Amino acid sequence: MPLTSDITINYSRFDPNNATEDTKKYCDFLEKMTTEAPDWWVVGAPRFREMMEAGEIGGLKPTRLPGAYEIKVPSREPGRNIPVRVYKPDNGEPSKGILLHAHGGGYCLGSHDAVDELLKFYANTCQLTAMSVGYRLAPEHPFPAGREDCIDVAEHLVDHGEAEHGGKLLFLAGESGGAHMSVLVAFALIRSRPQHVLKGLVLPYGNYTVALGLPSMVGFDRKILIYHEMVQHFMDAYTPGWTAEARQNPLASPLFDDLRALAASTPNGKLPPALFMCGTNDPLLDDTLLMSVKWLASGSEAIIKIFPGAPHVYNGGEIDIAKESFGYEAEFILGRV
């Protein structure tokens, strides 16, 4: 009998020759947009957020839908509330539960009220009440502010979701820095609400360490939306003055947490099922590869989808891999709701 590997890879998904022309053109578009835009750390995060809101970055202006609305959730700090964007299914039928989303933006940019189209997709495709957390951003609010806000909202929904919104917190979702937040929330809930079992996590192109030492990040200098220098500034804003060793703290870098011990501590002995997705033209590729394998090695379910030649935020345009990705998300959620 030939020797077999305990870990196998579908190499075709990593082969750059399998990138579609659609994907290549989208990379070129993002590179042009990134090159022409000012550096956010030069103009400052507050000003760059204003420019994003005004549609001055690549002509991409946030869409706000009439069906979305805002609620406030109490934080751990007396007198301070956390804004949360909500979208319920348009068909008027009862929701099957809650999906809590955390937006991306390197912990410094982005907004919970700029993802209405995504919340609508989750709500109408999966019959869920979709929510997005308005967590505090760096550099005004460095670690642990954003993490605490996301955890506070999730714990509130575990405790009061059925009474206030007619359903349990079932899913966590987030892209890029939002995927990072979603994993931190999942681990926090295992520790603080051990009897609450999530149905799953949806994690497109996440980063799972703020330590910045992974090869796909260090060697990535093509300006396709994000690149090594930019991410370095994000991390410096989020964890100012931290040493490389300090940035390995599992509360900031979940890749360094003990996933096997976490899984063993749950009622079913597993972490929640997770859908990991990333493109091969993304400096965060190694984050996805390492975290997903650790997830599997804990005895938990992880589905990994790799997109040849795809950049960071590959699902932000009208291209084939975006449709493919959203199809995977819907299939993953609907199979578990």
Strands 81-87 and 69-74 come out as antiparallel
Residue 169 predicted with pLDDT over 90 = yes
Determine the pLDDT at residue 191. 98
The domain locations on the chain are 11-334
Rounded Cα–Cα distance for residues 199 and 270 (Å): 11
Q: If pLDDT is split at 50, 70 and 90, which confidence band does 58 have?
A: confident
Look up the pTM and report it. Answer: 0.97
Rounded Cα–Cα distance for residues 147 and 239 (Å): 12
Determine the pLDDT at residue 318. 83
Q: If pLDDT is split at 50, 70 and 90, which confidence band does 9 have?
A: very high
Per-residue pLDDT averaged across 198-224, rounded?
A: 96
- Residue 209 is inside which H or E element, if any? none
Give the burial string for 82-101 (b: 16+ CB within 10 Å, else e): bbbbbbbbeeeeebbbbbbb
Per-residue pLDDT averaged across 40-58, rounded?
A: 97
Judge whether 177 and 184 are in contact, CB under 8 Å.
Answer: no
Residue 316 predicted with pLDDT over 90 = no
Residue 1 predicted with pLDDT over 90 = no
Single-letter amino acid, residue 209: T
Determine the pLDDT at residue 100. 99
Q: Helices in the chain by DSSP H: which ranges?
A: 21-36, 40-43, 45-53, 116-126, 145-165, 177-192, 215-218, 228-238, 259-264, 285-297, 320-334
Single-letter amino acid, residue 158: V
CATH number, span 11-334: 3.40.50.1820
Rounded Cα–Cα distance for residues 233 and 247 (Å): 14
Rounded Cα–Cα distance for residues 245 and 187 (Å): 21
Residue 179 predicted with pLDDT over 90 = yes
Percentage, residues of the chain above pLDDT 70: 100
Per-residue pLDDT averaged across 295-317, rounded?
A: 97
